[in-house]
C-alpha cells in the first residue's frame, strides 16, 4: 500500500495490517504489530522530507509464525535510535520498536531511499 505523509494514513495502514494478520491467523501479534507499524510509519512521515508525489509504502508478509513489516520511503536519512532525556516528549519510537520486535533494521530498496523493517514472532516473549 502507498500512503501520503498525512497523519491519518497511519490509522488506515493499521487497519490494513489488522486485516492481513487476521487472514494469516496471527491476531496474537496484533497489538504489538500495529504499534510497531505506527512508529515506523510516523517516523517516515515526520522525517522523510521528500518531494511531493513520493509516497511512503508499507508491505506486510508472514514469516514462519510471525510477520515482517516494511516501511519504504524515498529519504536516504537512516533511522537512528535515540536516548531522550526523561522529560522529552518524543524520541522513543525506535526504543519501542526494539523492545516489541524480534529484530529490526533498515536497508536499500528498489528506487531512491530506504526500507525500514521489523519482524515479530508469535512464539517469542
Q: What are phi and psi of 24, to 5 degrees?
A: -95, 0
pLDDT in tens, 30-72: 999 999 999 999 888 876 665 666 678 899 999 999 999 999 9
By CB atoms closer than 10 A (0-12, 13-18, 19+), residue 114 is buried
CATH architecture of the domain with residue range 2-121: 2-Layer Sandwich (3.30)
The domain spans of the chain are 2-121
Query: pTM for the complete prediction?
Result: 0.86
- Per residue in 22-38, pLDDT (tens digit) is 999 999 999 999 999 99
Amino acid at each position: 500500500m502507498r500512503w501520503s505523509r498525512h497523519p491519518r494514513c497511519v490509522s488506515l495502514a493499521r487497519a490494513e495490517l489488522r486485516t492481513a494478520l487476521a487472514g494469516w491467523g496471527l491476531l496474537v501479534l496484533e497489538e504489538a504489530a500495529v504499534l510497531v507499524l505506527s512508529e515506523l510509519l510516523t517516523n517516515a512521515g515526520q522525517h522523510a522530507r521528500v518531494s511531493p508525489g513520493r509516497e511512503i509504502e508499507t508491505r506486510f508478509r508472514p514469516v514462519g509464525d510471525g510477520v515482517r513489516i516494511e516501511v519504504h520511503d524515498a529519504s536516504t536519512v537512516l533511522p537512528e535510535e535515540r536516548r531522550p532525556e526523561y522529560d522529552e516528549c518524543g524520541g522513543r519510537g525506535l526504543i519501542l520498536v526494539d523492545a516489541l520486535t524480534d529484530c529490526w533494521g533498515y536497508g536499500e530498496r528498489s528506487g531512491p531511499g530506504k526500507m525500514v523493517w521489523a519482524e515479530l514472532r508469535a512464539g517469542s516473549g
